[in-house]
């Protein structure tokens, strides 16, 4: 939680009684709380190393932050605790009744004997974990695994034809969707070469306007007219070298969808953003902006590629656990924005130095439904090994 230091009042050794107010970012330490506290406004407060073994009734504790607080045996009744954060808090034996607990975050807390509306919290968590995992496992089987090669600025037309001919010989009946995202100049060659095969063709960008004075750009309609099915949008190389922003990625995504293309939208954090521990903020922001005004039905036609920028073309791959963590976070973010059904239907790929050696482990993860492959897609044998790994899932 971020605290606005200027707004903080440190209330040490304060005594809180009925109808007290500490709203507005108060920090409460070493305080005394009477056994029954009703109708108090603690919204946005921060409790540190405090003993709060009290019963809070009809109180507003929304957005509060609790750290190293003793709430053992405490009670919350008909109170608003939404969005509160509990860090290393002793909640053993605490009883929550008829209170709003939406969006709370709990880390490193003691939960033994804690109940919510009479249900034991540990049992609820176990039940949720089991069902949640089964749900996603099941959905993984029904979600389409998609392996897409991003050729970037590589291959002349004869070279493209040769690579696709070699790939065709290997990929006759893949257990996943296979896409070759080739340079614009190779699209026609690729469409011709892959006719009658399971390999689909994608472009690496498209403009958001239908036509006009946009020198050097290609519209979504032009791609569709050629027979192109997919388009990569928001690749980090476009963001880094060609000034692509979340706003233009959003416009391109909407234009691609309107034209009937299936966008592969790339998101991912920079190395220093990961080091600053803001990966989730960066990803959530990109998802919200890149898919602004995209409907749930349209979202289901999109693929999202999680591509940590530090892993692209560097040979430095995210670990399978790191990839899973962020792909699961993307799905959870989509679930908040679009509901669980849409979120569970979306294919989420990992991209960033995925190769024949590491693909199987990355693709075994429940929320990693496929891969966007740069370097390794330029070698038919390596790309085919990745396709086989996706088939095993």
- Is the CB of 57 or the CB of 274 nearer to ligand PEP? 274
Minimum distance between the CB of residue 150 and ligand PEP, rounded to whole angstroms?
Answer: 4
Catalytic residue among 43, 269, 307, 388: 307
- Least distance between ligand PEP and beta carbon 321 (Å): 18
Does 312 help bind ligand PEP (rule: CB under 6 A)? yes
- Contact region with ligand PEP (CB under 6 A), list: 51-59, 119-127, 243-251, 351-359: 351-359
Closest CB to ligand PEP among residues 55, 150: 150
Q: How far is the CB of 10 from ligand PEP (least distance, A)?
A: 49
Which of 375, 384, 386, 389: binder of ligand PEP (CB under 6 A)?
Answer: 375
**Residue 352 engages ligand PEP in binding (rule: CB under 6 A):** yes
Any contact of residue 249 with ligand PEP (CB under 6 A)?
Answer: no
Binding to ligand PEP in span 89-108, by CB under 6 A:
none
Q: Which helix (H) or strand (E) holds 306?
A: strand 303-306
Enumerate long-range contacts of 132-141, CB under 8 Å, 24 or more apart: 133/366, 135/344, 136/331, 136/344, 136/366, 136/367, 137/366, 139/344, 139/345, 140/366, 140/367, 140/369, 140/393, 141/393
Enclosing H/E stretch for 125: helix 121-142
HSE-up (13 A, CA, CB side) for residue 266: 29
Residue 88 or 273 with smaller CB distance to ligand PEP: 273
Residues 147, 305: Cα–Cα separation, whole Å: 11
Query: Cα(240)–Cα(234) distance, rounded to whole angstroms?
Result: 10
Instruction: Give the total of residues touching ligand PEP (CB under 6 A).
Output: 14
Among 327, 374, 384, 390, interactor with ligand PEP by CB under 6 A: 374
Q: Confirm or reject binding of residue 307 to ligand PEP (CB under 6 A).
A: yes
Q: How big is the chain by its Cα radius of gyration, in Å?
A: 26
Q: CB-wise, 33 or 310, nearer to ligand PEP? A: 310
Q: Which of 235, 298, 324, 388 is catalytic?
A: 235
Site string for ligand PEP, 262-301 (x = CB under 6 A): ----------------------------------------
Instruction: Calculate the alpha carbon distances from 47 to 23, 71, 94, 191 in Å.
Output: 12, 11, 17, 62
Burial of 35 (0-12, 13-18, 19+ CB in 10 A): exposed
Closer Cβ to ligand PEP, 150 or 253, answer by number: 150
How many Cα atoms are found within 13 Å in the side-chain-facing hemisphere of 334? 28
Residues 233 and 225: their CA atoms lie apart, in Å, by: 19
Residue 150 touches ligand PEP, criterion: CB under 6 A: yes
Stretch that binds ligand PEP, among 23-31, 135-143, 350-358, 360-368 (CB under 6 A): 350-358
Sheet holding 65-67, edge to edge: 10-12, 27-29, 46-48, 65-67, 85-87, 105-107
Three-state DSSP class for residue 264:
strand
By CB under 6 A, is residue 372 in contact with ligand PEP?
yes
In this structure, the dihedral spanned by the alpha carbons of residues 310, 316, 321 and 323, taken in order and rounded to 10 degrees, is 50
235 part of the active site: yes
How many angstroms separate the CA atoms of 212 and 162, rounded? 35
349 binds ligand PEP (CB under 6 A): no
Residue 234 is a binding residue for ligand PEP (CB under 6 A): no
Tell me which residues are annotated as active site: 235, 307
Q: Which spans of this chain sit near ligand PEP (rule: CB under 6 A)?
A: 150, 152, 307, 312-313, 351-354, 372-376
């Amino acid at each position: 939680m971020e605290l606005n230091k200027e707004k903080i009042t440190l209330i040490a050794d304060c005594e809180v009684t009925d109808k007290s107010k500490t709203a507005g970012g108060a920090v409460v330490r070493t305080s005394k709380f009477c056994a029954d506290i009703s109708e108090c406004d603690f919204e946005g407060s921060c409790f540190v190393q405090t003993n709060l073994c009290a019963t809070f009734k009809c109180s507003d504790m929304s957005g509060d932050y609790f750290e190293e607080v003793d709430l053992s045996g405490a009670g919350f009744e008909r109170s608003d605790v939404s969005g509160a954060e509990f860090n290393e808090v002793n909640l053993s034996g605490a009883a929550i009744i008829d209170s709003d607990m939406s969006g709370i975050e709990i880390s490193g807390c003691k939960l033994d004997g804690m109940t919510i509306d009479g249900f034991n919290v540990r049992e609820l968590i176990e039940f949720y974990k089991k069902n949640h995992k089964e749900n996603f496992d099941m959905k993984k089987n029904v979600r389409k695994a998609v392996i897409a090669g991003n050729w970037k600025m590589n291959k002349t037309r004869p070279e493209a034809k040769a690579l696709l001919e070699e790939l065709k010989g290997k990929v006759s009946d893949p257990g996943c969707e296979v896409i070759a995202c080739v340079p614009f100049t190779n699209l026609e060659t690729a469409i011709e070469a892959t006719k009658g095969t399971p390999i689909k063709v994608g472009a690496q960008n498209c403009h958001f306007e239908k036509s006009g004075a946009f020198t050097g750009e290609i519209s979504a309609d032009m791609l569709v007219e050629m027979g192109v099915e997919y388009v990569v949008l928001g690749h980090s190389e476009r963001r880094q070298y060609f000034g692509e922003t979340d706003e233009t990625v959003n416009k391109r995504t909407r234009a691609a969808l309107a034209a009937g293309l299936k966008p592969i939208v790339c998101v991912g954090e920079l190395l220093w953003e990961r080091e600053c521990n803001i990966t989730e903020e960066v990803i959530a922001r990109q998802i919200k902006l890149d898919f602004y005004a995209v409907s749930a039905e349209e979202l289901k036609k999109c693929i999202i590629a999680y591509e940590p920028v530090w892993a692209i073309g560097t040979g430095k791959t995210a670990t399978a656990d790191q990839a899973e963590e962020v792909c699961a976070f993307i799905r959870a973010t989509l679930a908040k924005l679009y509901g669980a059904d849409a979120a569970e239907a979306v294919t989420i790929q990992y991209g960033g130095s995925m190769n024949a050696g590491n693909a199987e482990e990355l693709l075994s993860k429940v929320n990693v439904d496929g891969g966007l492959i740069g370097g390794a897609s330029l070698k038919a044998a390596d790309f085919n090994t990745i396709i086989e790994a996706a088939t095993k899932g």
